[in-house]
Amino acid sequence: MKTVVLSVDARTPAPDIVARAADVLRRGGLVAFPTETVYGLAANALEAAAVGRIFAAKGRPPANPLIVHAGDPLAGRALAGAWPENAERLAKRFWPGPLTLVLPKTPAISDAVTAGGATVALRVPAHPVALAVLQAAGLPLAAPSANRSSRLSPTRAEHVLRDLDGLIDLLLDAGPTAGGLESTVLDITASPPRLLRPGLVTPAEIEAVIGPIQHAGAASGPLRSPGLLGKHYAPTTPLECPADDAARVAELLAAGRRVGWLTFKPRPMPPNLVVELMPASAREYAARLYDTLHRLDRLHLDHIIVAPLPDGEEWLAIRDRLRRAAGTP
């Protein structure tokens, strides 16, 4: 298969390009496009064969369910088998936006999307390109991140191509995504609602709307989100988050290893060391993280060392992704 790549304006995508993407999707094809978090790989969520192509292109285990995207909150609501008060409040506050709600599903959603489960993960993305394609297709779209399974999520079209060139029909390139980390996933079939994946919407922001939630990692048993187990979101270069990053970098350099270092302080750059000076704001760090890791990966270094992160809930999602990238969830 040849993957067609089309550039689109991120704010006002050209209608003919949007129509072409919608047409590919209606015919059961695969289209990658930007959302406000990361690039997604979309297919018609109502058609098992189309959804099956997502799993094949990504090499994704079929037991890992997909997020279904809707073009507006009403369309999202129509895909849920029940719509509790919490859903109404959260959708009103955060949709369109990077909050995914797990709800009972309607029969229209293909079992391939939900891995045979009774719930569906729903969100309305905030990116104009994603919304335009959803609205033009007039379909709910299953869309995981547009990367091979367990690899880093893409924040640029070139990241998508590196993993999926020749495996998908169409890629809409609208430049880098602003958020940089995947959406927050909240299971509101649980009582109290349960955070399955931290993301750009923080627990405090959610709790301000619906009251206390169960936090991931709390002593409340295993996560119910199969995609969150094991190594995930990982660069191919081994990544570590040591307590004393400077000492670890010095040790590796002394051993003749080539090292990439994500740090908050400017550092000298001896041979074999690539320093990435990271922003002190969590929002900016999130926006830069995957792009930085993709770039370091391309240098084929021996190690990536990440300086300890500041405390604070706004770093929760970043901490989570780095732990998974290091393979120590």
Q: Site residues (CB under 6 A) for ligand TXA?
A: 35, 37-38, 40, 64-67, 98, 100, 102, 114, 117, 119-121, 125, 143-145, 182-183, 185, 196-197, 224-228
| Residue type (1 letter), 272 | N
Q: How far is the CB of 201 from ligand TXA (least distance, A)?
A: 11
Q: How far is the CB of 120 from ligand TXA (least distance, A)?
A: 5
Q: How far is the CB of 17 from ligand TXA (least distance, A)?
A: 19
Nearer Cβ to Mg ion (97/144): 144
Nearer Cβ to ligand TXA (145/237): 145
Nearer Cβ to Mg ion (228/274): 228
Q: How far is the CB of 160 from ligand TXA (least distance, A)?
A: 11
The tokens for 152 are 């880093």
- Which region among 132-140, 143-151, 243-251, 273-281 touches Mg ion (by CB under 5 A)? 143-151
Nearer Cβ to ligand TXA (43/102): 102
- Which region among 20-28, 72-80, 139-147, 165-173 touches Mg ion (by CB under 5 A)? 139-147
Is 145 an interacting residue with respect to Mg ion (CB under 5 A)? yes
Sign of the four-CA dihedral 42, 283, 217, 304: positive
Q: How far is the CB of 143 from ligand TXA (least distance, A)?
A: 5
66, interface contact from Mg ion, ligand TXA, none, CB < 5-8 Å by kind: ligand TXA
Q: How far is the CB of 108 from ligand TXA (least distance, A)?
A: 15
Is 184 an interacting residue with respect to Mg ion (CB under 5 A)? no
Nearer Cβ to ligand TXA (112/259): 112
Q: Which residues bind Mg ion (CB under 5 A)?
A: 145
